[in-house]
Structure 1
Amino acid sequence: MTPVTGPLGDTRRPPTAVEPAERGATRIADRVVAKIAAQAAREALDTLPPDAVPPHATVVVHREIARVRVHLELGYPCDIGGRCNAVRRHVAERVDALTGMEVPEVTVQVERLHLVPPAAAVQGRTR
């Protein structure tokens, strides 16, 4: 909208403009942020063990700050700490990028480890 010039040369808002305080607000539900976080955890893990339950998340949002808890299952043996750090970092980045919320805390809870046989054992004996 273009400003309107008053009789004294002052610039005023057009009479149809709505004041910022009266425009309303956008609120993103906690469950939507939780779905975004769970999808981001799946992206960070790449592959899951065959019988693993996909990651899920719970979120508490207060104002524009989201605290996230991700529950997941991992294949074992693996670098558990490294995988959890990758999930933590990716979830924080994706939630921030998609919602604009600050994510100071992402807690990763490993619910279960699945024993994954080495690739040689799966294919059988070789000479």
Structure 2
Amino acid sequence: MSTPPRATPPRVAPADRGATRIADRVVAKIAAQAAREALVARPERAPAPHAIVTVHHDIARVRVSLELGYPSDLAAQCAAVRRQVALRVEEYAAMSVPEVDIDIEHLHSAHTRPAAGRDRRLR
């Protein structure tokens, strides 16, 4: 006695197989790394940029906190960070980034370096 051949299930398109959810903290790490990439010259002693992200469906709202050197073209540096963050989040997480808010938390000046062993950062 032979068994009848099994019917092959219909092929399902990859997009229809299930959902992928990327956690907000993962998108925040992508955004923070992109901000580091965009900052050509980061001041010494400045911490790495930090990002906070809120994701709703496929839209990411991004806020990046960073410290910059002074004097410098702050607007140009912020524009570069915005472009790079939007590009990387769209590329790696397939999310739209309508805006990237930037918080400049501190400006580092070569003329006002703190004495050795002292940290003059204000928070």
TM above 0.5, yes or no, is yes
Question: Could you list the per-position Cα deviations for residues 77-108 of structure 1 after superposition, in whole angstroms to 9, with x for gaps in the alignment?
Answer: 00011110110111101110111100001001
- CA gap of 1:85–1:23, structure 2 versus 1, over 3 A, is same
Which TM-score applies when normalising by structure 1? 0.75
- Matched to 2:95, the amino acid is M
Confirm or deny that 1:57 pairs with 2:47.
no
What CA distance in whole angstroms lies between the structure 2 residues aligned with 1:21 and 1:50?
A: 45
Aligned pairs for 1:14-25 (under 5 A) are: 14-15=8-9, 17=11, 23-25=17-19
Identity %: 62
Aligned with residue 74 of structure 1, among 68, 73, 78 = 68
Structure 1 consecutive aligned stretches of length 4 or more whose deviation exceeds 6 Å:
19-22
Which structure would you say has the larger Rg? 1
Q: RMSD over aligned Cα, in angstroms?
A: 2.0
Unaligned runs of 5+ in 2: 1-6, 112-123
Pair 1:75–1:24, CA change in 2 (3 A): same
- Find the aligned partners of 2:75 and 2:15 in 1 and give their Cα distance: 46
Q: Give, in whole Å, the separation in 2 of the partners of 1:96 and 1:21.
A: 18
Pairing 1:38–2:38 present: no
Match of 1:120 in 2: none
What is the TM-score of this pair, normalised by structure 2?
0.78
Q: Alignment length, in residue pairs?
A: 105
